[in-house]
Amino acid sequence: MRRVAITGVGVVSPVGIGVPAFWDSLVSGVSGVGPITTFDVSQYPVRFAASVEDFDPTASLDTKEARRMSRFQQFAVVAADEAMADAGLGRMEGEEAERCGVIVGSGIGGLMLMEEQTRQLMERGPSRTSPMLVAGMIVDLAAGHISIRYNLRGINFAVVSACATGNHAIGEAFEVIKRGSADVIVAGGFDAGVTPLGLAGFCAARALSTRNDDPQGASRPFDAGRDGFVIGEGGGALVLEDWDHAVARGANIRAEVLGYGATADAYHMTAPAPDGNGARRAMKLALEQSGLPLSEIGYINAHGTSTELGDAAESGAIRAVFGDQAPPVSSTKSMTGHLLGGAAAIEAIACVRALETGTLPPTINYTDPDPACDLDYVPNVARQADPKTALSNSFGFGGHNATIIFGRADR
């Protein structure tokens, strides 16, 4: 089986557009949560989110291209541009293009465009519906746009597994390269769910924090005062590449993908299995594939959404797998909010940067320990360490669980 390198990364997030800004915010403990200003939230029980402020798609796309894409697709292309440039790659030609692909997903796709066009239909009739509605709404067009932009003619499809989307995309790209079916794959996940309908739906499900008087303190994973997650938007792209292919072209290898585990809870539409069984099995599968002993995992980036049930179940699953050897754990969602289908991809990039810099990003807003969550959560302040490997968990509505293990390039 071939080794799989990560040679490029790109981010659009509530705490920064571009990897340098994103990482600086994480290690500084900066929150990207604030009041929603893009639509009227006066009648909502939740009036804040982790939005991508000052996002200008025309910094990467011409105006005509940008108009043909919905917001989550714009996020995808902008992040892919950064990742491809970081990898030292451009538009592919000839036979090489046929060995390069895209596996990019989303949780809910072009929800904002769908809402806008539904209003158009109701107010002005079907003749006024945009011809770009379907292309802007469906999840697979993010992968399609990246493929067309870079002439990537190999494997190309979308993943939809709610909040586990990004890890599933990375994991499946890892498997495709490992078995020899591709040399390069752009993988990741994106969402733009901070919309009137998106917010209303999560409010109705009572999944969100209601700390309207303290938005930046609302996302508090593993803290006893947590009361729900903070909805966010954005996502990340990673260039995965056959190790030998990367070495042959002199690429800068940022990290290595070592293991992937995917399971299902088969328990409930939205709640995790209380015993964390699915999460535990996903971690064990990733560990088995990596061949690493428990003692070699240096850091865990938790799913850690700031929900009462989810944080306790994940903490229990980590304890069940690692016992007294559990490494430091943090949830960067304390700063970024929960990007839904985009969450796992930016958290994978946080793992890559942690391995490169020897810095563990903190879990901010951790002030009141919960006895049900009894691990080292790197509270409030980043920590210098020397992790050679990092494990990233992501779990989604429907009982989807995905775990990825990354290794330092010089491990």
Give the ranges where 128-195 is alpha helix by DSSP (H). 133-137, 141-150, 165-178
Tell me which H or E stretch contains 7.
Answer: strand 4-13
Which residue among the candidates 163, 203, 351, 373 is catalytic per the annotation? 163
Cβ-proximal residues to 356 (8 Å cutoff; 6+ apart), any chain: 254, 255, 408, 409
Going by pLDDT thresholds of 50, 70 and 90, the confidence category of residue 59 is: confident
pLDDT at site 152: 98
pLDDT at site 76: 98
pLDDT of 274 above 90:
no
Residue intervals in the chain for CATH 3.40.47.10 = 4-248, 259-408
pLDDT at site 120: 93
pLDDT of 1 above 90:
no
- The mean pLDDT value of the chain amounts to 97
Angstrom distances, CA of residue 401 to CA of 187, 278, 342, 378:
17, 6, 15, 23
Mean pLDDT of 64-81: 96
Mean pLDDT of 36-63: 95
Task: Please provide the distance, in angstroms rounded to a whole number, between the alpha carbons at the two ends of the chain.
Answer: 18
pLDDT digit string, tens, across residues 355-384 = 999 999 999 999 999 999 999 999 999 999
Which residue among the candidates 168, 245, 338, 400 is catalytic per the annotation? 338
pLDDT at site 378: 98
Query: What does the radius of gyration of the chain's CA atoms come to, in whole angstroms?
Result: 20
Task: Name 236's bridge partners.
Answer: 11, 189
Instruction: Tell me if 274 sits within 8 A of 309, measured CB to CB.
Output: yes
**Coil, helix or strand at residue 216:** helix
pLDDT digit string, tens, across residues 140-175 = 999 999 999 999 999 999 999 999 999 999 999 999
AA letter at 87: A
Summarize the chain as % helix, strand, coil (round to 5).
40, 20, 40
| Tokens matching residue 341 | 């289908």
Cβ-proximal residues to 177 (8 Å cutoff; 6+ apart), any chain: 2, 4, 183, 184, 185, 240, 241, 242
Instruction: Tell me if 389 sits within 8 A of 406, measured CB to CB.
Output: yes
Beta-sheet strands, E only, within 247-388: 255-264, 300-301, 329-330, 359-360, 383-384
Topology, domain 4-248: Peroxisomal Thiolase; Chain A, domain 1 (3.40.47)
pLDDT of 52 above 90:
yes
Q: Single out the residue of 305, 302, 338, 296 nearest to residue 318, CA to CA.
A: 302
- Exposure string of 13-47, with b = 16+ CB inside 10 Å and e = fewer, is bbbbbbbeebbebbbebbbbbeebeeeebeebebb
Which residue among the candidates 303, 351, 373, 400 is catalytic per the annotation? 303
Helices (H) and strands (E) in the chain, counts: 14, 15
pLDDT at site 104: 98
Going by pLDDT thresholds of 50, 70 and 90, the confidence category of residue 411 is: confident
pLDDT digit string, tens, across residues 226-259 = 999 999 999 999 999 999 999 999 999 999 999 9
pLDDT at site 98: 98
DSSP string, 229-250: B-BBEEEEEEEEEEHHHHHHTT
Task: Name 190's bridge partners.
Answer: 235
Superfamily of domain 259-408: Thiolase/Chalcone synthase (3.40.47.10)
pLDDT of 263 above 90:
yes
Helix axes 141-150, 71-86, angle to 10 degrees: 40
pLDDT digit string, tens, across residues 160-215 = 999 999 999 999 999 999 999 999 999 999 999 999 999 999 999 999 999 999 99
DSSP string, 390-408: EEEEEEETTTEEEEEEEEE
Mean pLDDT of 332-352: 98
Is 338 designated active site?
Answer: yes
